[in-house]
Structure 1
């Protein structure tokens, strides 16, 4: 599996949804993935220049793009488009064959037609040692507007499965019930994952698996706990950050054949990490696994227990 980086560059002549302008942002969807840009306030020709990373499990699925005007209660639609990622992936598979091409060489062209949303010819080129596709998409179901994108490829090291096990002695945020309705949010770069909400519990048990795509070099993972509210903003219940470099380094050691349960590395609590107690990286069931308990900061109390498990990707063919 690889990731396609969708650079959302800018919008052109977008629709007006407020008095004289709009507050637009872009939502990209593919299968169950949803990725958003930031909001650019009061601008119908916004420049985002923001990278969104799509994990490609089925290249035949279309990528959907939606533009919305950010409002306090309900966001207004400002058009949508759809594009086929297959032409780009087919060229990217031949990347090794393209080494040595002159920078800026056009590899293939895709013409606008009734089936795609292209506003003009889209070119797939060799640029800065990688395959890149530039495109302008004409928004449909709206009076006007285009969005400029650029596609490029990012290789992944693997997948990190985070089992969110439980929270311990979390903070009270609902004074009436003397409890909270907690959920956990993980963020790494542009990736954002969220557990379900456990109602009225300061010691919730999620036992829920979330998966992050890891590239090289790996970024730190941020963890946030929130109390879910229906009629107001979710209340913060603390946060933490953890470094996944130790588990990535263990994976790179090539540990196949170790006895099950072998301890690879022990990480002790210190002022830099949020560990409650020592965290061990072990070889278990043919995978590298790390258990950790994190003490939440910026809150009166609370801990979260996690288990990290490295999921090795199949050897890519050509990519």
Structure 2
């Protein structure tokens, strides 16, 4: 029995009024009910990424360079603080990313310049999660 069939049978037997919060309808599942039909995944891997610093960044704006980093992966996104007027920013921020499955997953790190009109992307790096786990430390050079 699939979950949608179970839900339809339950809705018909209990009526729609009982599904309005805060009511609760406890129902025993049949032994033949397949739990994998519920489509939920358990977080199995948590990767902590530390964004430390950058050195000798070059900007087109003289003296008003405000860099920050955006990290994304596994449908999650994080952003460091904007380092005001710094060509050698030190963020020292950590982000935890939760992955259900490691194969074929990527982490993207992008370096931005915070400008008056709009933010400008200076460079992007993509890493496979397997590479991050195996190397432990990744140091990218070049903007």
Q: 1:246 & 1:128 partners in 2: Cα distance?
A: 33
Separation (CA, whole Å) in 1 of partners of 2:113 and 2:95: 19
CA distance in 2, matches of 1:156, 1:223: 22
Task: Flag structure 1 segments of 5+ consecutive residues without an equivalent.
Answer: 1-101, 117-124, 132-151, 251-280, 282-289, 296-300, 303-319
Match for residue 171 of structure 1 among 58, 65, 87: 58
| Cα distance in 1 between the residues matched to 2:20 and 2:6 | 17
Alpha carbons 2:76, 2:97 under 8 Å: kept = yes
> Take 2:100 and 2:54, find their aligned partners in 1: how far apart are those partners?
28
Which residue is equivalent to 1:85? none
Q: Please identify which structure carries the higher helix content.
A: 2
CA distance in 1, matches of 2:130, 2:44: 12
Computed over aligned residues only, the root mean square deviation of the Cα atoms, in angstroms, reads: 2.8
**Which residue of structure 2 lines up, in the alignment, with residue 52 of structure 1?**
none
Aligned equivalent of 1:66 = none
User: Which residue number in structure 2 is paired with residue 223 of structure 1?
Assistant: 109
CA contact (8 A) 1:158 1:214 kept: yes
Aligned partners of 1:203, 1:166: CA distance in 2, in Å?
7
In the TM superposition, 1:60-79 aligns within 5 A as none
The two structures have a TM-score, normalised by structure 1, of 0.35
> For residue 14 of structure 2, what is the aligned residue in structure 1?
none
* CA–CA distance in structure 2, aligned partners of residues 164 and 217 of structure 1: 21
Cα offset for 1:189?
Answer: 3.8
CA distance 1:127–1:224, change in 2 (3 Å): farther
Greater Rg, structure 1 or structure 2?
2
| Residue 186 (structure 1) shift | 0.9
Matched, 1:234 2:119: yes
* 2:37 paired residue number: 130
Give distance in 1, aligned partners of 2:122 and 2:132.
27
Relative to the length of structure 2, the TM-score reads: 0.72
- How far apart in 2 are the matches of 1:161 and 1:129? 29
Structure with more strand by fraction: 1
Q: Hey, what's the Cα distance between the residues in 2 that align with 1:228 and 1:129?
A: 45
Q: Cα deviations across residues 96-118 of structure 1 (Å, max 9, x unaligned)?
A: xxxxxx224416666125x59xx
Alignment size in residue pairs:
125
CA distance in 2, matches of 1:223, 1:210: 12
Which segments of structure 1 move beyond 6 Å, counting only runs of 4 or more?
125-128
